[in-house]
Amino acid sequence: MSPKLSQVCFHKSETGSSPSPPRALYQRSSKFFIVLTVAFSIFTDIFLYGVIVPVIPFALHHRIGIPPERVQAWTSILLATFGGALLVCSVFSGWLCDRIHLRKWPFLGALLIQGAATLMLCLATSTAALLTARILQGASGGVVWTVSLTIMTDKVESAGLGQALGYVAIARSLGVVMGPLLGGVLYERTGYYSVFALSFVFLAIDGVFRLSFIEARTASKWLATKNTEDLAETTTKKEPNKPVRRGSSISEASPFRRYAHRVHRRLPPVITLLADLRLDVALWGSFLQAVFMSGFDATIPIFVSRTFGWNSLAAGLIFLALVVPTCISPIIGWLSDKHGPRWYTAAGYLLSAIPLILLRLVDHDSTQQKVLLGALLALLGAFGTLFEIPIWAEIFRCTEIWTMANPRQYSAGGAVGQAYGLSNFFYSLGFTVGPLLTGFTYEAAGWSNMVLVLGITSVVSTIPTVLCTGGYIWRRKTERVDGVSDGGVAGS
C-alpha cells in the first residue's frame, strides 16, 4: 500500500498515535458513509454465503463425487455447519465489541477470514475442505453482523434506527438475490471457478469501504464544534427518559429481593439481558427468520430440480421472487419507528403463514404451478419484512432501556454489541436448525408437510409478539418510554 493510500485508509489518528485528523474526516465518518459501509459488508457476507447455494448440490456430485441420493443430506450439513460457526462466534464478538475502543480492527479481521474461506471453497476437492471453509465463513459472519450493526448504532439515533436497518436489509436482500442468481448463472455458463472470481471482486470492494470509514467515537475527537453539538443532540435523542418506577427502593426491599439483585449484578451482561422477556421475543424472531431463509436455501434447489427439472440457473432465479419484495424494508422501518413495532411484527407473522401453508399446493410440473410457486414466494418475502425490520430495532431499544436501568452492571461501552451478539447467536442457531429441520422433514415427510410446519410456527409466534413486542401490552397504559412501553425494564 502506498503512503498516500495508507494515509487515506488508515491514518495514525484513528489509533490515537497522531493528533492530526485523517483526510476527509467528515465524509468518512458521516451517517451516509457508515450506513453504506455497514450495508455493503452485510451484502458481501450474504453474497458469499449464497453464491454457492445453487452450486453446492451439483458440485458435491460432479466435483467431489457424492452419490445423488446423499446430495440433499450433505447440502443441509454444509449449510448447518455455517450456522454453527456463526452461532459460536456471535456472542464472543459482541462481548469483544463492547470492550474495545476501535471496532474497526475485528471488522477488518473478519474480512481477511472471509477471503481465506472463499479461497478454500474455490480450491476444495473434499468434503473436509468444504466443511472447514464453511466454518470459517460462519465465524467471519458472526463478527461482521455483530460489529457492523454496533458501529452503525453508534452513529444513528434511536428514532431513525428502523429506517437505517431497512437499508441494511435491502443490502442483505440484494446479497440473497444476487448470490444464488449469479452463482447459478456463472456455474451454468462459465464454470465453477468464475463463481469465486466474482466473489473476490466483491471482497476487494468491501475492503476499500472497511479501510476508509471512520467510527463515530473516533471522529468525535476532531469534528468541529457544530458537529460535536450535533453528536451530543443525537446522543440525547438516543437516550429515552427513565421510567417512573413504582414501589420501594432496593434498600427497602425484602432480603430475598436484595439477594436476587446482588446475584443479578454479578452475572455477565450477556446472561442478564436474557432475563428480559421482551428481548427474548425479539430474539425468537431472529431465530425464526433464519430458519425460514436457510430452510428454503437447503430445499428449494432440490425441490424445483425434482418437481420441475430445473437446473442451477433456474434454481437461482426463483430466489428473486422471495427476496425482491424486501425492497420495501426502509418504509417498514420508518413506519415501525413512527408507530411502534408491535402490530407490524404480529401482522408479519400472521400473514407469512398464508403463503407458507399454501405452498403445499405446489406438487407437480406445470406452468400454473411454477407461477404459483413464484407468487407465493413473493408474498412470503413481502410479509416477512413486516416482522424482520421492527425486530432488529426492537433488540437495540430493549438493550438501551435495560442498560439505563442497570448502569453499574455494564462497562462504559454499554451492551449493544452483546445484544447484537445474542441476536446473531439466535439467528445463527436458526441457520443451524433450519437446513436440518427442513431438509430432513422434506426427505421424510415431503414438501407439503415441511411448509405446513413452518406455517404453523409462524402463526404461533404471533401470540408472544402481541403480548411483549414494543413493551408488555398489559403495562402500555401506565409505563411509556419515548413512545414505546418500557417492557424491558419492567421485566427486570
pLDDT of residue 277: 87
Q: Is 301 exposed, middle or buried (0-12, 13-18, 19+ CB in 10 A)?
A: buried
Query: Quick one: pLDDT at residue 274?
Result: 80
Q: How far apart are CA 94 and CA 401, in angstroms?
A: 18
Question: Would the pTM count as exceeding 0.75?
Answer: no
Concatenated DSSP letters of 410-443:
S-TT-SHHHHHHHHHHHHHHHHHHHHHHHHHHHH
Beta bridge partners of 480: 485
Between 341 and 413, name the one with better pLDDT: 341
Alpha-carbon torsion (164, 168, 169, 171), positive or negative? positive
Query: What burial letters (b/e) apply to 247-271, b meaning 16+ CB within 10 Å?
Result: eeeeeeeeeeeeeeeeeeeeeebbe
d(C-alpha 297, C-alpha 54), whole Å: 8
Element housing 481 (H / E): strand 480-481
Share of the chain above pLDDT 90, in %: 24
Better-predicted residue by pLDDT, 400 or 145: 145
Q: Which of 34-43, 95-104, 139-148 has the lowest mean pLDDT?
A: 95-104
CA–CA gap between residue 54 and residue 90 (Å, rounded): 26
CATH topology of domain 28-221+267-490: Growth Hormone; Chain: A; (1.20.1250)
Handedness of CA 150, 156, 161, 163 (dihedral sign): negative
For residues 339 and 28, give the distance between their C-alpha atoms in angstroms, rounded to a whole number.
32
Q: Pull the grid cell for residue 260.
A: 436476587
**Rounded to whole angstroms, how far apart are CA atoms 22 and 186?**
41
Q: Residue 6's pLDDT band (boundaries 50, 70, 90)?
A: very low
Give percent of the chain above pLDDT 70.
80
- pLDDT tens-digit series, residues 283-310: 999 899 889 988 888 888 889 988 998 8
Confidence of residue 476 (pLDDT cuts 50, 70, 90): low
Per-residue pLDDT at 231 exceeds 50: no
* Per-position b or e across 199-234, b if 16+ CB within 10 A of its CB: beebbeebbebbbbbbbbbbbbebbeeebeeebeeb
For residue 406, the model assigns a pLDDT of 64
* Domain boundaries defined on the chain: 28-221+267-490
Nearest Cα to 341, choosing from 173, 473, 479?
473
Per-residue model confidence (pLDDT) at position 86 = 81
- Count Cβ atoms within 10 A of the Cβ of residue 440 and give its class: 0-12 exposed, 13-18 middle, 19 or more buried: middle
C-alpha closest to that of 276 among 91, 473, 93, 419 = 419
300, 85, 436, 285 alpha-carbon torsion, rounded to 10°: -80
